[in-house]
Structure 1
Amino acid sequence: MTGSTGPDEFDDVNEAVGAEWEDETTPYERIRDVISRVHTPVSTDAVADTARTSPKTARKHLNTLADEGFVTTDTGENGGTTYRRSPESLVVEQAADIREHVSTEELITRVSEMREHISDFQAEYGVESPEELLVERTNQTLSEAAATHDDLDPETLQEWQTTRRNLAFANAALSIATAERFVGDESRPNGSTLAQ
């Protein structure tokens, strides 16, 4: 087989891409990029290795990102500090993305539709959340070993959970839009509603 790429050639390509990334970015930018994709706690050494920097530099920038609220810190199994992307920064990022791509009017319509969809789930299954539905069905299964009941469709649960999550992000985006409007009002001379 001629023309096949061997493992060494892939290593060379990966190294070249990594070296280019290192040349074109600062350690802070690389560390922020690495941690932006981390949702489980990681050590300073792991971040430093991936970001192509020293553990000391990584720790300094991770602490800065923690002060900024971009990451949260935890204590790892061995007592060392671990870092992960903060849930708050994820919500703000997602809400900002929604605001960029969806008008406020369209967002209000979508929020209303998602609320109706969730209400339909609640009415159909007689519970407030997909988690309660799972508990209820598990309890039914345990108490009625021989009884027949409808199997719970995993796609329905997933749809309910996804709709609920999307509604939370949409509500966050609407809240940001409202806050931005008030900030805009306050920045105008004599525009404060409290002063009137």
Structure 2
Amino acid sequence: MVDPRSPDPYDDINEAVRSEWEAETTPAERVKNVIRHTYTPVTAGAVADDAQTTPKTARKHLEALAEDGFVTTTQGKRGATLYRRSNESLVTERANRLLSERSVEELTTRVAELQEEIQEYRETHGVDSPEELVVRLGNEALDNSDSDTRVDRSVVTEWQTTRRNLAFATAAVSIGKATDYIAESRSNSTQAVNSH
């Protein structure tokens, strides 16, 4: 039996982990780590609490991350600046991860496969998007209380996932091709300079 007056042993573990994290990282690293997983707007103070730093320090690093495009800022109801991870940085990170796992050619093939899957969803369900399918299913449910839309709702999720994966794969192909183009241009420029 645990003595109710004794401290929670997990409090000590959590504090030890927090202290170790703080000792082994800089405030900038901690702020970036916190905001990397922040998808809804929060204040610099909230980031500071999680990053174990001051609001002033968190704000300084968040502003630098915003300048780099890693963070998006908005104004809160009371005028405070709110921060969240930018969509662009999420797409770039995911695209680069895909490029580290597959070649541009493999991703190009995958893009074509995903486009075919989306076309099959459209043809099978007679609508152009998963959102339109949700509306149609809702209308059918209202018209016929006996209709079973559970299977169709799972199709909506699958269609949305396929569409998201297509967007990431397409971005990866674009980044991969652009990277290859830049590398080729630099190589050609270097060869031209060396030949003179």
Cα separation, 2, equivalents of 1:82 and 1:7: 36
Cα separation, 2, equivalents of 1:151 and 1:20: 50
Cα separation, 2, equivalents of 1:9 and 1:68: 41
The answer to whether the 8 A contact 2:35-2:47 is kept is yes
Cα separation, 2, equivalents of 1:95 and 1:46: 29
Cα separation, 1, equivalents of 2:149 and 2:170: 32
- TM-score computed with the length of structure 1 as normaliser: 0.88
Deviation by residue 1:62-112 (Cα, 9 ceiling, x = unmatched): 110011110001112322111000000000000000000112222122112
- TM-score computed with the length of structure 2 as normaliser: 0.88
Q: Percent same amino acid at aligned positions?
A: 51
Partner of 1:30: 30
Letter in 2 for 1:66: A
Partner of 1:47: 47
Between the two proteins, the alignment pairs up a number of residues equal to: 187
Q: 1:190: how far off?
A: 4.1
Cα separation, 1, equivalents of 2:27 and 2:20: 13
Partner of 2:128: 128
Q: Determine which structure has the larger helix proportion and give its number.
A: 2
Partner of 2:159: 160
Q: 1:149: how far off?
A: 5.3
Counterpart secondary structure, 1:31: helix
CA RMSD of aligned residues (A): 2.0
Counterpart secondary structure, 2:53: coil
Deviation by residue 1:18-68 (Cα, 9 ceiling, x = unmatched): 111111111000000000000001111110011010111011111100111
Letter in 2 for 1:23: A
In the alignment, structure 1 segments of 5+ residues that lack a partner are: none
Partner of 1:184: 183
The answer to whether the 8 A contact 1:185-1:191 is kept is no
Letter in 2 for 1:178: K
Partner of 2:194: none
Partner of 2:75: 75
Cα separation, 2, equivalents of 1:19 and 1:162: 39
Cα separation, 1, equivalents of 2:26 and 2:157: 40
In the alignment, structure 2 segments of 5+ residues that lack a partner are: 192-196
Counterpart secondary structure, 1:188: helix
Partner of 2:117: 117
Residue 121 to residue 189, structure 1, CA distance change in 2 (3 Å): closer
Q: Does 1:151 align with 2:149?
A: yes
Counterpart secondary structure, 1:136: helix
Cα separation, 2, equivalents of 1:190 and 1:17: 50
The answer to whether the 8 A contact 1:69-1:86 is kept is yes
